[in-house]
Each structure stands twice: as C-alpha cells, then as structure tokens.
Amino acid sequence: MEISFYTCPGCGAGQTFEPAGKAMVCGSCGATNPIEIAVDSGIRKLPLRENMEQFGEMITEGAATEDVRTTTCPGCGAEISIEANTSSGECSFCGGTVTTDVAPHPSLLPHYVTPFAVANQQALDAFRKWLSTRKFAPNKLKQYARQEDALRGVYYPCWSFDADTSTNYTGRRGINRTERYTTKDSQGKTVTRTRTRTDWYPASGRVT
C-alpha cells in the first residue's frame, strides 16, 4: 500500500484538506497547494480470506498501520481514538475531554479516503441557520454553535463485501384469491360481498 504524506512545500508544516478549493491548506504559513483527486480510483476488490491473513502480517510487521489509543467517552459513550503519543483528547461527538491510560494498539490505515464535499465554514453556517429556526432548541446548543470550532469533520470507516453463496430454502408460499359470498346486512337484506382468501402451498428451492 502506498501512503502519501502532504506537507507544505513552502515551510514543511502539516496541511489540512479544504473541500471548497479541492486543495491542501498549510496551517502554518497559510499557503494553498492544489492536489489531484482521482475521479475513478480503480478500487480493487480483495479476496477476504487471503487478505485477512495479509492484514495479520501487516499488523505484526507494523506495515501500513498506525498506533492509536481507543477508549470510550465518559460523557456520551462514543468510542474514540487518540494518537498514541498523547493521553488525552477531545470527543468528536460531544466535545468532552477524554483521558486514558490504555496502551496503544496498531490500527490499519485505510486503503481509500473519500474527501469532504462541504467546507467546514459552510457546514457551520448551515447548522446555525437551521438552529435559528428551532424556537425550543436548548440554550447550551445555541451557545455552543457560536464557537468557531463548533463543528469538525469526522471520517467514518466503511467496508464493502461481496459474497458468492448458494442457499437451500423450504417454507410455504401464499397465493391470494378473491371470493364472493352472501350475507345479511344491518337491515336483514341478503347482499353479495367479496373477501380475500390466502391458499398456502409448500415451497422449496435453491438460490445461487
């Protein structure tokens, strides 16, 4: 797996992705550096069994992995990851401070990343606009929304699986039919009405 690190070519500092300009922005000197985003990345499908063995070797050898601390936020119960060289961090879900002494463990780096489509300020403006229409929104939420760092992007992991299976099934299949019948109405007159009946039959087969 090829891993790319985007440091600023001007000062060497770290950069963050800016969705609006499809570019990396240096957090130190403010330089904007465009990057090439693949429209069709040609994502490869990997055989599960073979690659589970490969992943185990990667973790053992430390290849394509990073050490993280995984813990649970005491405020909201979310599971969060903290960099291995720190013992505290901020919960991405509720904003609470989380400290942990859990030992770091290796975590596989993702093969692909889908970049954000909305800039952080755009998302914050939309959130504040929506919140202004909520008369009974909690005051603490309104106060929190005034902060410039009220929203932050979070990457969610996603796994895609395809399966080739054959399944035998047995059961019953119901077929509806409409029948006419006669009865007495509330005035004692004979009337003809319809109703739905379901006839059940044994069913079995194989799905591949």
End-to-end CA distance of the chain: 34
Q: Is the full-model pTM beyond 0.85?
A: no
Give the torsion through C-alpha atoms of 147, 18, 81, 111, to 10 deg: 160
Pinpoint the alpha helices (H) of 62-185.
120-132, 139-145
What Rg value do the Cα atoms of the chain yield, rounded? 29
Q: What is the pLDDT of residues 68-79, one digit of tens each?
A: 788 888 888 888
Q: What is the pLDDT of residues 79-105, one digit of tens each?
A: 888 877 777 888 877 778 888 887 877
Q: Where are the domains of the chain?
A: 1-43, 47-111, 118-153
pLDDT at 33 over 50: yes
CA–CA separation, 19 and 17 (whole Å): 6
Phi and psi (nearest 5°) for 75? -85, -45
Q: Which residue has the higher pLDDT, 159 or 39?
A: 159
- Over range 135-152, report the average pLDDT: 85
Q: What is the pLDDT of residues 151-202, one digit of tens each?
A: 877 777 777 777 788 999 999 999 999 999 999 988 889 999 999 999 999 9
